[in-house]
Amino acid sequence: MPVSSAGEICERAAHLSDDEWLDLVLASVDASQAGPVELPAFPSANIQCLTNNLSGIESLRPAGHFYTTVKAILADHGQSLAPSHRVLDYGCGWGRIARFFLKDVQRDNLHGIDVQPVLVDACRQTINADSFHLVVAEDPLPFVDEYFDLVFAHSVFSHLSESQHLKAIAEIARVTKVGGLAVCTVLGEPHLAEFRPIGPVEPPWSAIKDVADAEHRLAKGGFVWANTGRCGILSEYGLALVSDRWLHRRWPPDLKILEIGDRPYGQTLVVARRRSGR
């Protein structure tokens, strides 16, 4: 069953630790009613697989890991979430990460955006919220300036072209409150080794054909993007690797980068605080 009221989950789950909450959400793969809290249902496996070719517990477990990582980042930077805070999942997919934040903020304060209608519809139907929005990549986000206390983007900037990256991070900076945090994942220089062919076998996401050239460009503080042959709304969605120096040089000046890759995670975590000056 979808969630029935805006404040129900964060009110009923307030007594749970993050670890207990994580276990509860993971258990909801098999039944939406797990214990005292009614949790969102899941879209079909076919829709779940649209985001990372995974479904069920295999898809939800890494989403939970990202959730607990974001909570740790907030704590380490002297912040926490309250039910009245607003959170944006930039590139929400079918809501596999967003649903974890229902413990921390009221449902109507949890927002998501995506460019694929079927994924946005899945969020609206399972989380039962009108706060998930279909967007066009070239357009501004449908939010006023300084609206969100927290914005996160998981496995979005690891795919965007350089021009799309710059447009997206500018919008994230615009809608983040002064003092609020943006947490984004990227593929950095250490990840390039994952795309080196092993003998005659090409690795997954083998769009980067000249690894030596990519390595050179990253070492010089550059940006590497390879087209994976998609079209339409995903024509600038490929494989992107970015150097730390590029991030410091090209991210908006009102996003102060606090850390890049300072904690273990599958992708490089970039944490930035919105400061005044826009």
- Does 6 fall in a domain? no
- Confirm whether 3 is domain-assigned: no
Q: Is residue 29 part of a domain?
A: no
Quick check: is 22 in a domain?
no
SS (H, E, C) 195-224: HCCECCECCCCCCCCCHHHHHHHHHCCCEE
Average pLDDT over residues 214-235: 85
Question: DSSP label at 259?
Answer: E
Please name which of 87, 102, 94, 252 lies closest in space to residue 165, comparing C-alpha atoms. Answer: 252
Q: In this predicted structure, what is the pLDDT of residue 199?
A: 56
Any domain includes 124: yes
Identify whether 34 is part of a domain.
no
The confidence band for 37, taking pLDDT boundaries of 50, 70 and 90, is confident
Contacts of 206-214 with C-beta under 8 Å, sequence gap 24+, read 207/238, 207/239, 208/239, 208/241, 214/241
Q: What is the mean pLDDT of residues 136-162?
A: 95
Backbone angles phi, psi at 254, to 5 degrees: -90, 5
Range of the domain at 204: 67-274
Does pLDDT of 1 surpass 50? no
Residue 152 phi, psi (nearest 5): -130, 150
Number of domains, the chain: 1
Q: Identify the burial level of 96 via C-beta atoms within 10 angstroms of its C-beta, where 0-12 means exposed, 13-18 middle and 19 or more buried.
A: buried
Res 137: pLDDT: 85
Global pTM?
Answer: 0.93
Low-confidence winner among 36-45, 81-90, 201-210, 226-235 (lowest mean pLDDT): 201-210
pLDDT at 237 over 90: no
136 falls within a domain: yes
Tell me the average pLDDT across 208-229. Answer: 89
Sign of the dihedral through C-alpha 95, 83, 167, 226: negative
pLDDT, average across residues 232-259: 91
pLDDT category at 193 given cuts 50, 70, 90 is: confident
In DSSP terms, 151 is beta-bridged to 88, 182
pLDDT(201) > 80: no
253: in domain:
yes
CATH code, 71: 3.40.50.150
Predicted confidence band of residue 197 (pLDDT cuts 50, 70, 90): low
Mean pLDDT, all residues of the chain: 90
Distance, CA of 213 to CA of 211 (rounded, Å) = 5
